[in-house]
Amino acid sequence: MQRVRLRYTKRGRLRFTSHRDFQRAFERALRRAEVPMAYSAGFTPHPKVSYANAAPTGTASEAEYLEIALAAPREVAWLRERLDESLPAGLDIVDAVEAKTSGFAERLEASAWELRLEGVDPAEAERAAKVFLTTSSVEVSRETKKGIRTFDARAAVTALEAADAFASPSPSGGSDALASVPCAILRLVVRHLTPAVRPDDVLSGLRSVADLAPPVPAGVTRLAQGPLDERTGTVTDPFAPDRDAATAALPTAAGQQAAAAPEITGQ
């Protein structure tokens, strides 16, 4: 059975899509794209899709991942393109790879986030980030289904720094488009631990240890998800092992795939 891993985005206004909403939209896109899905057994069969680590509702993402299982093999590039076309703009399939390795979920060790703080002076954000990093433990509380939960938001954070500061155009646009408001941007790297530390938790941490209080809700975007390179502190591509495995096995694998999928045409 062919398994394909996809990287997708939640951009712009569609960042308000919840994970459940995305699942429904994706399953419908599979139908529209006529992807020959493998189905689970049982009374109500479901297409086989596994999702990893969905970003919270309201946060944008450039790096969400899922894996699908196909009943008949398809070319990966064709799948990527067809599914991307079938999804609403903003939910975009940006990368795809045939699964050649196991343990994909475990490979998603950390996330890199961008926090856009409209109306916050970049210098102020930089100062707050330093205070946060020099504090050994930052207790934050979050409301969960089981009530208020308090935990440390500091230990999971491996990087928090101000990115290049710039002034963005006023969001109201119109005649005073030339007017500008300050906007700070923070880059954050968080290790996926239990309990999961979300960007929101880091923001509440910044508020509690450094009095950083953005006047409007922060624009949060996940930039990357994958193995954490301890040496450079960066999040790397989780598809790399699959690509390496495919390259190593190239001569035979390509031949098999071409033979198994004769019906693929350019239509």
Interface contacts to another protein, rule CB under 8 A: 13-14, 16-18, 20-22, 24-25, 27-32, 34, 39, 43-45, 57-58, 86, 88-90, 171-174, 216-217, 263, 265, 267
Q: Between 103 and 173, name the residue whose CB sits nearer to another protein.
A: 173
Smaller CB distance to another protein: residue 14 or 185? 14
Smallest gap from residue 254 Cβ to another protein (A) = 21
Q: How far is the CB of 16 from another protein (least distance, A)?
A: 4
Rounded CA-CA distance 263/55 in Å is 36
What is the smallest separation between the CB atom of 144 and another protein, expressed in angstroms? Answer: 16
Q: Please name the residue that has the structure tokens 């899922």.
A: 66
- Which two tokens mark 246? 């495919």
- Residue 8's φ and ψ, nearest 5 degrees, are -135, 170
Q: Map tokens 């790096």 to a residue.
A: 63
**How many Å apart are CA 112 and CA 95, to the nearest integer?**
17
Q: Which is nearer to another protein, 90 or 195 (CB)?
A: 90
Query: Which tokens sit at 50?
Result: 């596994």
Nearer CB in complex with another protein: 84/242: 84
Q: Report the C-alpha gap between 232 and 239 in whole angstroms.
A: 19
Q: Tell the smallest beta-carbon distance from residue 13 to another protein (Å).
A: 4
Distance of CA 207 to the CA centre of its chain: 24
